[in-house]
Amino acid sequence: MSAARAPLPRPDPPGRRRSAAGAPVPDKRRLILDAAVRVFARQGFHACRVSDIADEAGVAYGLVYHYFASKDEVLNTLFLERWNVMLEHIREVDAKPLPVREKLAAIAAFIIDSYRHDPDLMKVIIVEVTRAANSFGQTHLAEIRTAYELIGGIVAKAQADGDFKDEIEARFAAMAFYGTIEQLLTGWIFGLLPQGAEEFERAKWLVVETVCGGLEHGGEGARRSREGPAGAHQHARGGAAK
């Protein structure tokens, strides 16, 4: 899929130092954040202590507080790093002259591939932030709302261009799109759905088809798309035989 790109690695702070021999000096801040992902995913945010993060990272307890004021700040940092990368990706995709299906497919692929490459981090983001309505989800409502607004903007443009019917509100379509993806990730996180390369790839198509299939006007193009990759291939063979 030409529009999709591999999820970016978690960003490091600028100015990483090197030793006199030229080898990279371990980034203690990054070390602590990566350790926190493992601890939060394994024990849950509320059940773990700062000392658990320090032990996992192999650093002194006080060093965690050198970089972060609290355990809450560690989680906030992890969420904002990944969420801002996703928002950047959505904006980049929307700026490209692509059909709306390809834009939504690229966004779905990015989020699903983020889980494929870093399931612990995505588990932490979903379980401890976006689904934690009374705590961190409330804290980050503005960032979460921005994602819905960006996706809704893509849908609204497609409606204005006549590609999507306008009976369905763009805001609702955006919520359905992201909500479908998040529900898939939740199913994988809790072992409710099978997961593997084949399931991940099919999930990308299913998400886009579920939403676009309900937003597109009827017609041959929409019907072929609903038949999926195998159906499209069959039509191509049939057309060539005529």
Q: Could you read off the pLDDT of 31-51 as tens digits, one per residue?
A: 999 999 999 999 999 999 999
Query: Does the pLDDT value for residue 218 go beyond 90?
Result: no
> What kind and span of H or E run contains 119?
helix 119-125
The domains located in the chain, with CATH, are 22-68 (1.10.10.60), 70-241 (1.10.357.10)
The conformation of residue 127, written as its DSSP 8-state character, comes to I
Backbone dihedral angles phi then psi of residue 24, each to the nearest 5 degrees: -60, 135
Distance CA 29, CA 130 (A): 24
Q: Are 48 and 40 in contact (CB under 8 A)?
A: yes
Maximal CA-CA distance, the chain: 74
Q: How many Cα atoms occupy the beta-carbon half-sphere of 127 within 13 Å?
A: 21
Render pLDDT for 124-176 as a digit per residue (tens, 0 to 9): 999 999 887 667 767 888 999 999 999 999 999 999 999 999 899 999 999 99
Query: Does the pLDDT value for residue 225 go beyond 70?
Result: no
Q: Are 7 and 85 in contact (CB under 8 A)?
A: yes
Distance CA 104, CA 155 (A): 9
The stretch 82-100 carries a mean pLDDT of: 97
Q: What is the pLDDT of residue 38?
A: 98
Is residue 228 very low, low, confident or very high in pLDDT (cuts 50, 70, 90)? Answer: low
Distance CA 160, CA 172 (A): 16
Q: What is the pLDDT of residue 214?
A: 86
Dihedral (CA of 195, 9, 208, 236) sign: negative
Whole-model pTM: value is 0.79
Locate 183 and state its tokens: 């529900």
Query: Does the pLDDT value for residue 186 go beyond 90?
Result: yes
> What kind and span of H or E run contains 210?
helix 197-215
Query: Does the pLDDT value for residue 221 go beyond 60?
Result: no
Is residue 212 very low, low, confident or very high in pLDDT (cuts 50, 70, 90)? Answer: very high
Render pLDDT for 50-75 as a digit per residue (tens, 0 to 9): 999 999 999 999 999 999 999 999 99
Give percent of the chain with pLDDT exceeding 70: 78
What is the number of other CB atoms lying within 10 angstroms of the CB of residue 241? 6
* Residue that has been written with the tokens 């159906």 in this structure: 231
